[in-house]
Amino acid sequence: MKISAIVPAYNEEERIEKVIQPLKAVELVNEIIVIDDGSQDKTSEIAESYDVRLIRLDKNSGKAQAVKRGLADCDADILLLLDADLIGLTPEHIRDLLEPVLQENADMTIGIFDDGRLVTDLAQKISPNLSGQRAMRASLAKQLVSLDTDGYGIELALTKLAKTEGIRTRRVIMKHATHVMKEEKLGLVKGTIWRMKMYKDIVKYWLN
């Protein structure tokens, strides 16, 4: 079965290597697709140095559109979605996300941070369905392309789709993994504005 990893990235030159490297170390992954969502740094150049499949978007369109673009150009049987700002990602985490789907014990897995950093651990304990780390059957992922979802509502779209379609999901603990928060990337003011936009996207989708 063909497995493709889709990594949406926006200005992640300092972090994307730490996601690509463990992906390259997993023999199960046949293809890595990086969608550069209008980055203004060297995200694309760094990704290309690892011989991945790179899709460049002319302008920043948001995570949902970046993921949809990757899905539209993918012919895999199983898809792995990973954020580009992960810290502590290991090949074992990737295999743990994939195995339940490969073994047909689940249609989708959701990666949950644990013992990484208190703030991200707590956030995922409160809202595990907002995790961007997932493996799933392509038939499920492809349905996202036609869904009306923007920004960070894509995780909720997957969750609602799984619930309405009776899709089997399993949570996978990602020990010692975490990610960089927007406030750390952009500074407190810009990061807070970005976070409010993210919550707006989520609430908007949830109420629809």
DSSP string over 53-120: EEEEESS---HHHHHHHHHHT---SEEEE--TTEES--HHHHHHHHHHHHTTS-SEEEEEEESS-HHH
Whats the size of the chain, residue-wise? 208
Is residue 90 one of the residues assigned to a domain? yes
Is residue 183 one of the residues assigned to a domain? no
**Both tokens assigned to 134:** 């997932």
- pLDDT value of residue 72: 87
**Both tokens assigned to 90:** 């290991």
In angstroms, rounded to a whole number, what is the distance separating the alpha carbons of residues 87 and 70?
A: 22
Q: What CATH number is attached to the domain comprising 157?
A: 3.90.550.10
Give the count of domains, the chain: 1
Is residue 147 one of the residues assigned to a domain? yes
* Residue of higher predicted confidence among 79 and 180: 79
Is residue 77 one of the residues assigned to a domain? yes
Question: Coil, helix or strand for 175?
Answer: strand
Sign, CA torsion 189/17/76/101: negative
Instruction: Give residue 7's domain range.
Output: 3-178
pTM of the model: 0.84
Closest CA to 108 of 161, 29, 33: 161
For residues 80-91, average pLDDT? 96
- pLDDT value of residue 191: 56
Is residue 39 one of the residues assigned to a domain? yes
Is residue 191 one of the residues assigned to a domain? no
Is residue 54 one of the residues assigned to a domain? yes
Q: Model confidence over 1-24: pLDDT tens digits?
A: 899 999 999 999 999 999 999 999
List Cβ neighbours of 162 (8 Å cut-off, separation of 6 or more): 107, 108, 140, 169
